[in-house]
Amino acid sequence: MENLKLFMLLLGCKPSGRHTEQHDVFFGIAASLRDLIPEIQAFGPEPERIHIDAWREVNTVDGYKVEIKPRDNSIGQHSKLFFINLGGYQPDKFEEQHYAVLTVQNDFASASKNAKETYFFKHNHFNGANSHIDDKYGIDVDDIYNVEDILSATQKAEYQIVLIPNTGLPEDKINLGYFKLSSL
């Protein structure tokens, strides 16, 4: 098996008839970012307009090494990799602020509790405009995702995310900019 990696991408697209760019987070498994292009295009409603605004090769989260292995139901692990999209507001800014959280926890409740402890959650709200996990007015575990659950059906069937305790790993590099799929 080639050296497969988990990628987290912030995809951008300005769909026909919209006035502003729309964004969504995408997770995919591949040997390289370029190898994900077919999955990215299948994910978006207008594949010819999609670009990447940010991406991260997910190698380490919360003191765990993140590895991709072939699906093997005999590999059991208690910890799971969760993705949480926090939303919040700042006075006099005509926009909702967002903060993406990746965390390794045993369950949705622990992931929710962890999200509430972030600086973003504690400081991006004011009276009448509370911080929240998107689509809710407070923390609700229905809006927290186990990353394996939001992979494409093909990737869910073929691979699994294995989390190995390993402290002292370097933090993942976050790549920011406007990345056209054709230039990957």
The string of pLDDT tens digits covering residues 3-35 is 999 999 999 998 888 898 889 999 999 999 999
Residues 154 and 89 in one domain: yes
Shared domain for 32 and 118, answered yes or no, is no
On whether both 156 and 66 belong to a single domain, the answer is yes
- The model's pTM is 0.86
C-alpha 176/C-alpha 98 separation (Å) is: 15
Same domain, 95 and 53: no
- What residue numbers bound the domain in which 31 lies? 1-59+169-183
Task: Indicate if 116 and 135 belong to the same structural domain.
Answer: yes
Structural domain count of the chain: 2
User: Do both 39 and 11 map to the same domain?
Assistant: yes
Question: pLDDT tens across 53-93, in order?
Answer: 999 999 999 999 999 999 987 777 889 999 988 877 777 88
User: Beta-carbon neighbour count of residue 102 at 10 Å?
Assistant: 20
Contact predicate 27/150, CB 8 Å: yes
Tokens standing for residue 92: 């006099």
Looking at the structure, do residues 66 and 54 belong to the same domain, yes or no?
A: no
